[in-house]
Structure 1
Amino acid sequence: MALVLPTLSAFTSSRLTAILTAKTQADFTAAFDALFARNVNVVYNGKQLSREQYQAQLLGQSSAAAEEQGANVSLQGQLEIPGNEGQLSGVVGLFYTSLVDSKFLVFGAPAESKLTSSFNAIIQATEPRPPSNPRIRGYFDPRRIVTVNQNATEQALQVTIPHSSIKPTTPGVTTKNFALPQGPFGAPFGPGPVRLGPTETNPVSETFPGDGEFGAPPVMIPGETIGEDTNTKA
């Protein structure tokens, strides 16, 4: 019974997803070696990279990076063109997005970034078949990516502030007014202001001799005479 290999697009998408969602660097390295040839030719965002440089680039975008804690890859579109050897070689194009959660917290929630990428690869059967070993089970896939041209852009997503961190200072927020307790003299800080009656708040002006030019008039005491007493003279 002949073994049927996964399609070129399934092979590429599954192994690329394994690279970006690897939890440890050991898993990441194993997944990277299972997808890319030893002498892979890489162009990333128009710049030529070595295999080691490209590996470091993808590591920074994966959940195996030191500052990341998880990645969720979503495949948006795919295209494959088989070569002369059927599914053993051909061209694959993928368009995917990856949401990466950081280990750093902002307002108690992980910071998140979104990577949008187009991934175009040429695949060939480059790996020699290993010696048969009855202890090893599973199929052998000799295919690897020999050329990749990837364009990617990354953006930080807006952090959602939990409602518990927002104080009700915006218009429309209902607040409750509490009455202050009354003290023995009225308000809690003593009696209120003294209120005068109408007769005291609107006094009638008094007129003095000289219209106050020489000061206040003398005090008039009943039974006494102001000035010189003529009756005491002889």
Structure 2
Amino acid sequence: MELQQLRAIVTGGASGLGAATAQYLAAQGAQVTLFDRDTARGTALAAEIGGQFAQVDVTSEASVAAGIAQAKAAMGGIDALINCAGIATGERVVGRDGPHRLDSFSRTIEINLIGSFNVLRLAAAEMAQNPGPERGVIVNTASIAAFDGQKGQAAYAASKGGIAGMTLPLARDLATQGIRVCAIAPGIFATPMMKGLPAEVQDSLAAEVTFPKRLGDPAEYARLAGFIISCGYLNGEVIRLDGALRMR
């Protein structure tokens, strides 16, 4: 699938990995629609890259359906979905204030896992209407926490483990529709959330990476997403993007 002819939706597109992906795809000539709850940032970025913005809550079926209809009308169809919307939480199973809050666990699963599935199922239904044989590509965002999550990451690791675990079944389910599905499992990336930490904390995290000893650049995630979209034989795979980092 050629990037310059692509019609893509990027969730979480107003910042971080999503914003970098939207910028990269637009620079390759793709049409891009950003889904995000942050209207100010999303609108500004869409104007900057010549794309569209839709205020979407990925956990709401009605909100996603309206966003997909808006994207389809603006771009004339949908060929690709890159799911970057998500939250990061940290909480011990039993901490100083007692047991892990059930609402924070549920919310993490709802946004990261169920939200991703909510968008992809509705986007896939639209992609299935494209002419074949290859009708669409879906790239979900897992995390290395899915495989070696640290203490305090039970909710986050569970949500990202779900993303990783459903990759192959999704690819098998959607094969008859001509839709490929992969996931990227990023390590520690220089997203706005990470850049908000003190420099010494960022440096200590970077020192744990095997090589190169630095935080990941969101543009590197974006380029990998672009490669997955353009490489027609890549399907059903979860790709770690982490500088060989193995968390302890």
TMscore range, shorter length: under 0.3
Per chain length, whose mean CA-contact separation is higher, i.e. which structure has more relative contact order (CA < 8 Å, sep 6+)?
2
Q: TM-score, normalised by structure 1?
A: 0.23
Which one has the bigger strand percentage? 1
Which one has the bigger helix percentage? 2
